[in-house]
Chains A and B, each alone.
Chain A
Amino acid sequence: MRRVFSTDHKVIGKQFLFLGLAFLAVGGVMAMLIRWQLARPGQPVPIVGRLLFPGAGGVISPAAYTSLFTMHGTIMIFFAVTPILIGGFGNFCVPLLIGARDMAFPRLNMLSFWTMAAATATLTASFFVPLGAAQAGWTAYATLSTAIGAPGPGQTMWTVAIYLNGVSTIMGAVNYITTVVRLRAPGMDWFRLPLTVWGFFLTSILNALFVPVIAAAMALLFFDRVFGTQFFIAGTTMRAGGDPILYQHLFWLFGHPEVYILILPAWGIVSDLLSFFARKPAFGYRVTVWALIGVVVLSCVVYGHHMFTTGMSPLLGESFMLLTMIISVPTSLLFLNWLGTLWRGALRMTTPMLFCVGLVFTFGIGGLTGLYLADIVADQYLHDTYFVVGHFHLIMAAALLMASFAATYFWFPKMFGRMMSERLGKLHFWPTFLALNVVFIGQLAIGWAGMQRRLYDPSAYDFLKHLLPWNVWISRAAYVLGLSQLVFVWNFFASLRRGKPAPANPWEVGTLEWTVPSPPPHHNFEEIPTVVRGPHELGHPDARALGKDWLGQDEVLS
C-alpha cells in the first residue's frame, strides 16, 4: 500500500507516466480507427472490428465515429500528454533538478495523482453508458454539448472527467510553483535553473491561471445539462437567453494557453537536451528564458484567433490577429537559439538527441503553418479544415510526442536504473519521424484542398471525392506510426527487466539529478548540494583540464 499511495515524487511521477502511456496507446488506437474510416469509408474494421463494433458488423457507424474523434482528442490532450509530460516528467524532474528532497507538498501531490485517476475512471466508464461516450468534439462547443445536441449521460460524465482532470492539474501547478520558488538548493539562482525547470515552472503558472477557467466552463455546462440552467443555451429549438459563444470564450481562454501549457515543458526539455548532446552551453540562455516568459504573457491574449469565424467585431479580430503574430518573435528567438546551440557543437546523435532534432523540424512546420491561421483572410478559407488538424497535430502530437520520447530515453536510466537500448531507440525514431511527417503534412495538403474536419465520410461532398487516395496514404502512414510504437513498448519493458545497469551519469552532463545514484535514493540527496554554476557547462576549458568536457552544477574546482 505504501508503494501505491506513495508521497514520493519519483513514484508519483512514474504513476503519472504509466497512466499517460496507457492512455497514449488507447488514443493511438482510436486515431488508427478514425484513419481506417477516412481511407475505407463504411467498410468493416479488420481484426478488431467485430469486437469493438459488434452491433454494426465491425463497421464504424457515424455515431461511433463521432465518439471516436471526440474521445481521441480528449484522451490525447488531457489524459495522455498532460500526465506524461507535466505529471510524469514534471514530478520526477523538478525536485531532482533543483536539488530538493521532494515536492513542497507531498500529500497534495499524491492527491493530484489520485484525482487524475478518478478522472480517468469517469472517462473510461463513459464508454459503457447508454448512447455511448461524448460526441461533441474535444472542444465540446455549446449548444451541441448541452441537452439539445447530446442527451446521453456520456457527455455529462465527460464534463465531470474534465473537471476532475482540472482539479488534479491545479493541485499539481500550485505544488510545482511552490517547489521551484521555495525549495531550490543554495546557489540555485533563477538563471542557473535548467531550462526544463523553467518550462515546468512557467507551465504551472499558466495552469494555475487558466485551468480554473475551463473548470468554470465545465461547471456551468454541467449545470446546463443536469440542473436545467441556460448559461450556454439559445436558439429556437429550446428558447433561452444564454449564449453559446460565452462557452467558446471560456473554452479558448483556457484552450489557447493550454497549447503553451503543453509545449513549454517540451521547449524546456529540448533546449536542455540539445545543449547536452551538442556538448555546448545552451546558446543565449537568458534570451531563451525571456522568450519563454514572453510566450507565457502573449499566450494569455491571443485566444480569439480560434473564433475568427464567429463574426467577432473587426477591432477584436484585428487585435487578435496582430497579437497572435507577435508570438512569432519569441518563438523565432527560441529557434535561433536552438540552431545557435547546435552550430559548431560536437553533436552526439543519441536517441534522445534524434528526437530533439526531429522536434525542431516538425515544430518548424507546425509553427510556420500557424501563420496561415493567424491571418484572418486565409483563415476564413482554412478554418475548420484539415489544415488546422495538420497544423495542431504537428505541434500537439508530433512535437509533444517527440519531446516525450526524448525525455523518456533521456531520464529512463535515472528513473529505473537501467539503460534503454540505443539500437531499438533508433529503430523507433526513424519510422516514427517519417510517418509523423507524412500523416500531418498530408493533412495540411487535404486541408489546403478544402476538406473539413470531423467528416464521417468526406466523399459525401463532390469536391472532396478526388482526395480519397490522399486519405488512403495518410492512413497507411498512420498505421506505420502506430505499429512502430511497438518497438518503443518492447524497448521500454525489456530494458526495465534486462537493460544494462545505468551508471549515475550515463550522458555525462552536469545537472543535479546525475550526481545521485540511478535510481535515486528515497530522499534524493544525502546532503543538499550547493550550486556554483549554471546547468550547461559543457566543453568548458576548465573541464578539459580535468580530462572531461563537462562540469557539475555543484562541482567545486580546487
Chain B
Amino acid sequence: MRLDVPRDVSLDGHVVDGVLGYLTLCTGIAFAVLVIVLAATLIFHRARPGRPHAHHTYGDSLRARLLTFGVGLVLFVAIDVTLAVRASGHLHERFWNYPDADPSALRVEVTARQWAWTFRTAGPDARFGTPDDVVTLGELHVPIGRPVYLKLRSKDVVHSLYLPSFRTKIDAIPGSTTKLWIQAQEAGRTEIGCAQHCGVSHYKMRGWLIASPEDEYRAWLARAETDSRLRYDPADTVAQQEGWEW
C-alpha cells in the first residue's frame, strides 16, 4: 500500500507541497483537539448510576461566550488568516506572475479537444501562424531552467490541463483563453492529464511533458521545424492549427 505523490520536477511545486504540509499541520492539530475533547466527554460524562444529572448550564454567560468567540477567533487568525496571507503572497510572486515581458519564456498554444492535447510553439520567427510553427500531438517539449508560458483553448468542451509533477492545472475552455506558466527543473518525462470530465474517453486524454536540457531541446526543435516546413502547405487550411492573438 504505497502512497506516492507524483515526483516534483518543477520550480514552484515545492511551494504547493509546503502549503499542503502547513495545512495538514494546522488542521491535524485542530482535529486532534476536537477528537480528544469528544472522547473525553464520551468517556467521562456519560449518564451512569452515580451520575444521573448533567451539569446545568445554558452556556450563555459572558464567560462562556467570550470563550467560544475567543477560541473561534484564535483559530481563524492562526489558521485561516495566515493561510490566506501566505497564499496571496505565493500567487502574486509566483503563480500569477506571468512571464509576459520575459523574452526567454517559451510560448506555447495549447488546444484541447475530445480527447487529445495539441501544443504549438512559434518557431524561430517567434510568430504564431507561420510555416515554421511546431505542432505536436500529446507531447509537450520544454527546455529546463526557463519559463514556459502556456495559453489554452478548447475546441469542444471544457478540459483541464493537469500537470501532477508541477502541482498545477488550468482549464481549457471553448470560447475563451486561459493561461498558465511553469518551469521544469529536471530533465525527464512526466505525465499530462485531463482533470475535467470531458466525455466518455476522459480517462484516455493524457499526454507527456518532455523536459530536456537547453541544447537537447534546441536540437529537437531544429529537427521539428525542418519537418514542419517540409509538411507546410499553405493551400491546406484544414491541416493548419487555428491560433489566436497573444
Contacts and interface: CB of A to CB of B under 8 A. Distances in A.
A200 to B, nearest CB: 23
B162 A287 contact: no
Contacts of B3: 445-446, 448-449, 467, 470
Main SS of chain A's interface residues? helix
A452 B195 contact: yes
Contacts of B114: 149
B217 interface: no
A558 interface: no
Given A328-B75, A448-B3, A309 B169 contact: yes
A63 B201 CA distance: 8
A461 B193 contact: yes
Interface in B30-69: 30-31, 34-35, 37-38, 41-42, 45-47, 51-60, 64-65, 67-69
Contact of B64 (A137, A340, A466): A340
B38 A360 contact: yes
Contacts of A286: 60
Contacts of A59: none
Given A280-B55, A371-B79, A460-B203, A137 B197 contact: yes
Contacts of B56: 280-281, 539-541
Interface string B93-119: 001100000000000000001100000
B132 interface: no
Contact of B197 (A136, A378, A385, A449): A136
A333 B72 contact: yes
A506 to B, nearest CB: 16
A318 B88 contact: yes
A280 B53 CA distance: 9
Given A135-B200, A144-B199, A328-B79, A243 B88 contact: no
Given A243-B175, A283-B57, A368-B31, A385 B42 contact: no
A62 B202 CA distance: 9
Contacts of B81: 325
Interface string A327-354: 0110011011101111111111100000
Contacts of B52: 346, 549
Interface in B130-180: 153-158, 160, 162, 164-165, 167-171, 173-176, 178-179
Contacts of A549: 52-53
Contacts of B197: 66, 136-137, 141, 144, 453-454
Given A346-B45, A381-B169, A544-B53, A449 B203 contact: no
B226 interface: no
Interface residues of B, number: 96
A178 interface: no
Nearest to B40: A343
Nearest to B170: A309
A237 to B, nearest CB: 4
Nearest to A540: B56
B6 interface: yes
B22 to A, nearest CB: 9
Given A336-B72, A348-B47, 15 more contacts: A66-B197, A136-B197, A143-B158, A233-B174, A244-B157, A314-B91, A329-B72, A332-B75, A342-B45, A346-B53, A375-B84, A448-B3, A452-B194, A466-B2, A549-B53
Interface of B: 1-6, 15-16, 19-20, 23, 26-27, 30-31, 34-35, 37-38, 41-42, 45-47, 51-60, 64-65, 67-69, 71-73, 75-76, 79-81, 83-84, 86-88, 90-92, 95-96, 113-114, 153-158, 160, 162, 164-165, 167-171, 173-176, 178-179, 190-191, 193-204, 206, 242
